[in-house]
Amino acid sequence: MLAAASLLRPYIKCETSSVILSLGLGLTVLATIGQIDSNLRQVISTELPDRAPAFFVLDIKNDQIDDFRALVSADEGVEKIDSAPMLRGNITQINGRPAIEVAGNHWVLREDRGVTYFATPPEDNRIVEGTWWPEDYTGPPLMSFSAEEAAELGLTLGDKITVNILGRDLTAEISSFHEAEFSNMAINFVMIWNPAALENAPHSHLATIYATEDAEGRLTRAMAQNFPNITAIGVREAITRVADTLGSLANAIRWGAGAALITGFVVLIGAAAAGENRRVFEAAVLKTLGATRARILGSFALRSLILGGSAGAVAILAGSVASWAVLTFVMEADFSFHWPSAIAIVTGGAFASLIAGLFFAWRPLSARPAGILRNRG
C-alpha cells in the first residue's frame, strides 16, 4: 500500500511519466518485433508444406512436355512430377463491367495471372461448390475459380469473367469454385478453364519436381543438356536465401530495438538519479515515523517494479496494435497474441526498473533523518 500510494504524490508523478515513456519506448519496439516474429514462425510451421518441390520448371514447350516428363521420371531420385499448361491473362471485366469497378483493387486484378486448363479436377484442387465440366466438353467457355479469392471479389456461380489472354478478350462462365492452397508450394491457379477454350492457343507448360537432395545436381545437368530453353528454379536454394535474408533483416531490427532499449534504460537511470534527493527526504520522514530500513527498501523496490511493469504493459498494448497492423495490412497474414513474448517483455521492464531503482536507494536508506529534516525545515 505504501508503494502504491506514493505513486500518486505530485513529486513522484514526474518520475512515473519518465520511466513509462523512456523504458516503454524501447519495450514497445521489442514487443512489436516479438509478436511479429512469433506470428511469422507460427505461419512457417503451420502453413508451409512438410515436403516442398525441389524445382519449379518454366517455359516447357508443348512438343517437349512428354519427353521432359519421361526424362525426369527416369531418375531414381525423383519422387513425383506435376505439370500444367501455362498461359497468362488479366481479368478485365466481371459480368460485362470493368473488374476494378466491381471488385476494387484486389491483388487478383492488379496484373497478369496464371491461367491453365484441365479436363478433370487437379489432384490438389478440391471442388467446394458447383460442378466440373465433362471431359469431352466443347461448349461455351467454362471456368473454375479459386474459392477464397472468389469470396473476396464477391463472385458467385454463373458470373461471367472476361480475361485478356494474348491480347484477346475471352469470356467464361464460373461453373465451380476450387480450393487453391498457394502455401503448399504445389501448382495452383486462381482460374482453371475447360481445355477446348484454351488448348489451341500458343502456350507453354509449368512443372514441379519432387526429388531427393542428391538427385538435384543430376536433374539440373540433364535438363540443361536436353532442354536448354527451359528455366529450372531450385526451390531449396531459394528458400535458403529467403530465410537468410529474413534472418538478417530480423537481426538488424533487433539491434535497432536493442539500441532503443539501451537509450530508454539510460533515460531511466537519469530519472532515478534526479529523484534521489526526493527519496532521501521520503526515507527520512518514514524513519521518523518508525519505518524500518527493510520496509523502506521494500517500498522503493515495489514502486520500481510497479513502474517497470506498467511500462511493460503499455509496451505490450502498443506493440500488439502495431504488430497486428503490420501483419494484417502489410503482410496480409493472420495475427494471434503470443503470451511468452509478452510475459518476457513485462518481466524485463520490471527487472530493469528494479535495478535502476535499487541502485539509487542506498544513499536514501543510509541518510540520518535529523540532519535531512533540519535542512528542509
The pLDDT tens digits for 19-58 are: 666 667 777 877 887 787 777 767 666 655 556 788 889 9
Q: How far is 366 from 71, CA to CA, in rounded Å?
A: 86
- 236 lies in a domain? no
Residues 20 and 76 in one domain: no
Task: Give the closest residue to 159 by CA, choosing from 99, 77, 233.
Answer: 99
Higher model confidence: residue 108 or residue 3?
108
- 107 lies in a domain? yes
String of DSSP letters for 76-128: TTEEEEEEEEEEEEEEEEETTEEHHHHH-S-HHHHS-EEEEE-SS--TT--EE
Higher model confidence: residue 368 or residue 30?
30
Span 156-177, pLDDT tens digits: 999 999 999 988 999 999 999 9
* Joined grid coordinates for residue 164: 485478356
Q: Average per-residue pLDDT in the chain?
A: 80
**Going by DSSP bridges, is the β-strand pair 231-234/168-178 parallel, antiparallel, or unpaired?**
unpaired
Count of structural domains within the chain: 2
Residues 342 and 271 in one domain: yes
Residues 196 and 311 in one domain: no
Span 322-347, pLDDT tens digits: 889 888 887 777 888 888 878 887 78
Cβ contacts of 183 within 8 Å, gap of 6 or more:
47, 48, 49
pLDDT value for 4: 46
- 240 lies in a domain? no
* Mean pLDDT confidence for 195-217: 91
Domain membership of residue 15 as a residue range: 2-48+247-376
Residues 32 and 127 in one domain: no
pLDDT value for 174: 96
- 25 lies in a domain? yes
Boundary of a domain, candidates 211, 236, 259:
211
Residues 25 and 128 in one domain: no
Boundary of a domain, candidates 154, 183, 211:
211
Ranked by mean pLDDT, which of 212-216, 232-236, 286-290 comes out on top? Answer: 212-216
- 218 lies in a domain? no
- 175 lies in a domain? yes
- 63 lies in a domain? yes
Strands (E), the chain: 55-61, 78-94, 97-98, 113-117, 127-130, 142-146, 160-165, 168-178, 191-193, 204-211, 231-234
Boundary of a domain, candidates 211, 233, 265:
211
Please return the burial class of 89, using the count of CB atoms within 10 Å of its CB with bins 0-12, 13-18 and 19+: buried
Residues 9 and 36 in one domain: yes
Band of residue 185 on the pLDDT scale cut at 50, 70, 90: confident
Residues 328 and 199 in one domain: no
Residues 177 and 262 in one domain: no
Band of residue 137 on the pLDDT scale cut at 50, 70, 90: very high
